[in-house]
Copies of this chain bind each other. A is one copy, B any other.
Amino acid sequence: MPEKPSSRVEITLLPERRKILATKGETVLLTLRQGGIDVSGSCGGEGRCGECKVRFAHPPPVCEGDRRLLRGEELKQGWRLACLHCVKEPVSIYREERSGVFDAKAQMDAVLSDVVVDPRIEAHYLRLPPPQREDQDADLARLFAGLGEKVVVPLPILRKLPHILRDNRFALTVVQAGEDVLDLRPRDCSKEIYGVAIDVGTTTLAAYLLDLSCGKQLALRATGNPQAVAGADVITRIGYVQRRGQQGLEELQDRVIAELNGLISDMASEAGIPENTIYETMIVGNPTMLHLLLGIDPSTIGYSPYVPVLYSTQELTASEIGLRIAPFGKVRILPAVSAYLGADVVAGLLYADVGVRGKVELFLDIGTNGEIVLAIGDRLVACSAAAGPAFEGASICQGMSALAGAIDHVFIDDADVCCSAIGGVNAIGICGSGLVDTVAELRRVGLIDCSGRLRPTQHPLSSRIEGEGAERRFLLTDKESPVCITQKDIRSCQLAKGAIRAGVEAIFEHAHIKSSDLDRVLIGGAFGCSLRPESLLRTGVLPRIAPHKISLLGNSAGQGAKIALCDRKASERLRWIVEHTEYVELSYLASFPRRFVNHMGFPADRELEQLESGIEARGGID
């Protein structure tokens, strides 16, 4: 990990000119990954799979491994294997779809390399015998015979049957999910089946378009949840619905559906496929978001005993909620455990395989709420802590979602602040991971004390502290319109991290576990994908633990949704998760408020020193 300024060089991602700070001598592959950029590669960086190929603007000399795995044409164009070349000087790399490099927000999203591709959506190409005097079977019976089973054909699809058969010499493709026929298409279209995985976050919507015939991801999109006008967190949105009644509920539903339709439409155009060949959407989200998506009043989630209308739904048809995919395409929504432990967390647990390794593992999905799940063997204990929207960049003075222009990583060197902004453009604000990084770095160098107060010290960067009281702020950039974080932002960060840490401690106590028992910490959530584990330790979001035991999963909810979309057997595991998770309602614990206050502070100086030496010793995170 980059600790010394002299060892730093920049990698520039083209065409956006986004910059990543690299450590000299490190491989390009590792540097890209540490910078939050996903690069595929299944051989573990040993130059054997060839998946991590990237195109250099000024390519380094071809090495033996490049020559073995790349074509001559590719070598000429500047392609090299990212794992075989070290960073010696500033380099520029093309971020192109054909390369292994994908957008930062979709880290680890490109390929579900170890997932079985066995989707519930199937397409069968049939050539049926035409009717004859001796064979007066009806068209539908003919279809059943061809499939070898009876299926359910919705009326509008059935109406197409006689024409498709007679216009195409009785050759057609049947798209089905179990016994439900979703479409009939002329001739052989059996490879043209697509699905979309969707994560409806309180702050961010993420969608992934997958080719269900092979599991390949064809496109992805993320955008802000347009319900934000009705409040930043679930409680505010529930209040909005309670005040405005049916109209408010329909408004919020319409907003999210319209936005999702936009994402789907964009992805379909990008992939060059018709939207009506998308036959399934797999949706995750917290219970409130899913109630709003379905147009179901979430009011009862807002007060004790926090009971939603449903934890899981039967599958729906796309047209029932107005999603513009194939009209009879399926909409599946993953199950929740409780009103505050939703399908997004369950999907994350699926993705992270929590509870199958027989270890003690802590899974955190950090978003507007922080969901915490502790696995002890095959027992899962969970809670949900109201972190507030700070970790998603909301309610922060210059906060923003993790979009272009957002500062997502911050390093403080002896005398300088290095910020990287998403998209390589000028920084215009700060997102959740940038906030945690900033607070962690300021605490590390002592510009924040353990109570969270921003204070000038001997440090040369003290000059960047301006103003007084709640208005006091630290300038991250020194451009004309500087990006800064305020004392109030730091307090918001403290509230968020205090809630999460208090939840972690409550769960530990409930399960009779100490932090030293932990084998692994898994961080999910959109926020998790660009976090630096050290910053979680320095700010005290996590208890003290060896940094190499912390794994960042990226958008674990979206990943889980993709797995559920691609592998029909995932439903068994999902059921297992829901049945085996014991939910602890934090608001019913008398000890929780005390714990919360205790953990709002940062690690004391001495504790911080021990932490730093631990981080230094391990050379950062694997």
Contacts and interface: CB of A to CB of B under 8 A. Distances in A.
A369 to B, nearest CB: 17
B161 A309 contact: yes
Contacts of A155: 294-296, 316, 320-321
Interface stretch (A49-57, A129-137, A378-386): A129-137
Given A305-B133, A585-B136, A159 B311 contact: no
A158 interface: yes
Interface string A74-90: 00000000000000000
A309 B139 contact: yes
A139 B308 contact: yes
Contacts of A135: 305
Nearest to A306: B136
A305 B162 contact: no
B158 A310 contact: yes
Interface string A166-207: 100000000000000000000000000000000000000000
Interface size class for chain A?
A: 35 or more
Interface in A125-158: 131-133, 135-141, 152-155, 158
A265 interface: no
> How many monomers of this protein are in the complex?
2
A133 B166 CA distance: 62
A421 to B, nearest CB: 42
Interface string A278-290: 0000000000000
A410 to B, nearest CB: 41
A256 to B, nearest CB: 15
Most buried by B among A137, A296, A300, A309: A309
Contacts of A300: 131, 139, 162, 166
Interface in A291-332: 294-297, 299-300, 304-311, 314, 316, 320-321
Given A297-B163, A321-B155, A138 B309 contact: yes
A339 interface: yes
A535 interface: no
Contact of A309 (B133, B140, B304, B306): B140
Given A136-B305, A138-B308, A161-B309, 15 more contacts: A133-B304, A133-B305, A136-B307, A136-B339, A139-B307, A140-B310, A154-B320, A158-B294, A158-B296, A158-B310, A159-B294, A159-B295, A162-B299, A162-B309, A166-B300
16 contacts: A131-B300, A133-B305, A136-B305, A136-B338, A136-B585, A138-B307, A138-B308, A138-B310, A140-B309, A152-B314, A155-B295, A155-B316, A155-B320, A158-B294, A159-B296, A166-B300
A-B interface, 3 closest residue pairs, ranked by CB to CB distance from nearest = A140-B310, A131-B307, A139-B309
